[in-house]
Structure 1
């Protein structure tokens, strides 16, 4: 298994954290230790300990071994997002140090991205600049909805242009009423230059479920074997 998997999406709210959850649960079922990492999160709730993000808390609960919240999510932006684009430098070193620290705790780190591939940070840099700096292999989450084929193809092209490897993609049926669902998946399988490693049906309260069976990392494991042969 690869040491790192960075989970990006074709847009925001397409299910990156749900897929990260599925990957962590799948690895746990294989007795493979893995921790979740959300380097940049948006705080959902202000607590006595500061802003806390529900996605980061979920990743923390699924990590093996369990790590403190600040290790899981070192940067938490204000929940209302007002005034965050202020030019204040993002600490890429802090994000990288956290990643490397977690890599010493488990066999694999599942990194849950923030927004889409070109999501902009408070200092106007793209989040993908950090991913490129760390040379992370990428898993793309495609929220199956109107326009997703275009978004998926453009995202895959952007990842390749940035010099990174797209190791797989996951279809997440976020719109249960979408017509021609099967045809959309067939187009994606023909057009995306990476294997499909998962398919999640529309699942209310997915965070409360075991999603291990909806993903299959055998193609990623095979890639690791080829790279080290």
Structure 2
């Protein structure tokens, strides 16, 4: 079983688009992407643990990104299976949870992930939210807890304004689940800094960032795009497995290009060899 976590240099970097393209590439006959003479296709399960910005449909919160993932994954998962934690407001998930008097936790996310693992898919693709350090919220303060430095008790009621609680992050789940990481670089001004900081943080967390993808998420390409990609190829130690240009909704003849059409085109550009060896 291969297990991948898709993260990005920032929000709106095209994580869902790239995730769907990766699933499409994995679920095509293997002869399409690694020259093996077999028509076997892989089973791929998708998991987007947290989503904020959902539409209420028949009493269920539906996230558009999770819906897209469900259209390409082939393990007969429901949208709720793919996206178990959903919030209607398009705001930071831990803030949306706080508004509803709920808590997010690594343990909660990992419990849902174990259900996905039970499908025994060949590949599990987990799509993150935001960037690498998405906050899940503060850990609860324990009343009269012991200060590890002074070995004195802390009364959290009288010192509540002075104590900064420890936080949990979605990246903590990635560490617990020991997922390999694929980094999407949103090709725009500042991407060199964002990509290097993200990679260095993933590495400092003790995880393996095994590949990166250059994604032009904006309709207007950045200045000196090729030079920036060349710089990243030199600066990042892992292989670049794809480069995606912006896909318009119309082709050169004015014919509409559907989301599925775009995914099919993108999937052909992915080199899966570093992921399956």
TM over 0.5: yes
Q: Which residue of 2 aligns with 1:93?
A: 107
Q: Which residue of 1 aligns with 2:161?
A: none
CA distance in 2, matches of 1:121, 1:93: 11
2:182 touches 2:211 (CA, 8 Å); kept in 1? yes
Q: Name the SS of the counterpart of 2:22 in structure 1.
A: helix
Q: CA deviation at 1:122?
A: 4.2
CA distance in 1, matches of 2:230, 2:221: 17
CA distance in 2, matches of 1:42, 1:128: 17
Aligned counterpart for 2:214 among listed residues 137, 160, 171: 171
Q: Which residue of 2 aligns with 1:75?
A: 85
What RMSD in Å do the two structures reach over aligned CA positions?
1.9
1:159 touches 1:165 (CA, 8 Å); kept in 2? yes
Q: Which residue of 1 aligns with 2:127?
A: 112
Q: CA deviation at 1:85?
A: 6.1
Answer 1 or 2: which has greater helix percent: 1
69-78 or 7-16: bigger deviation: 69-78
Deviations 1:26-64 (A, max 9, x none): 001131110211011113312223221000011111111
Structure 1 residue runs of 5 or longer lacking an equivalent are 223-229
Aligned counterpart for 2:96 among listed residues 73, 84, 93: 84
What TM-score does the superposition give when structure 2 sets the normalisation length? 0.75
What TM-score does the superposition give when structure 1 sets the normalisation length? 0.89
Q: Which residue of 1 aligns with 2:267?
A: 212
2:46 touches 2:124 (CA, 8 Å); kept in 1? yes
107-116 or 175-184: bigger deviation: 175-184
1:22 touches 1:214 (CA, 8 Å); kept in 2? no
**Which protein is bigger by CA-based radius of gyration?**
2
Q: Which residue of 1 aligns with 2:164?
A: none
Aligned counterpart for 1:150 among listed residues 178, 182, 193: 193
Question: Residues 142 and 48 from structure 1, CA distance in 2 versus in 1: closer, same or farther, beyond 3 angstroms?
Answer: same
In the alignment, structure 1 residue 194 sits paired with structure 2 residue 252? no
2:106 touches 2:168 (CA, 8 Å); kept in 1? no
- Using CA pairs below 8 Å that are at least 6 residues apart, which structure has the higher relative contact order? 1
Q: Which runs of 4+ in 1 moved over 4 A?
A: none
Question: Residues 144 and 80 from structure 1, CA distance in 2 versus in 1: closer, same or farther, beyond 3 angstroms?
Answer: closer
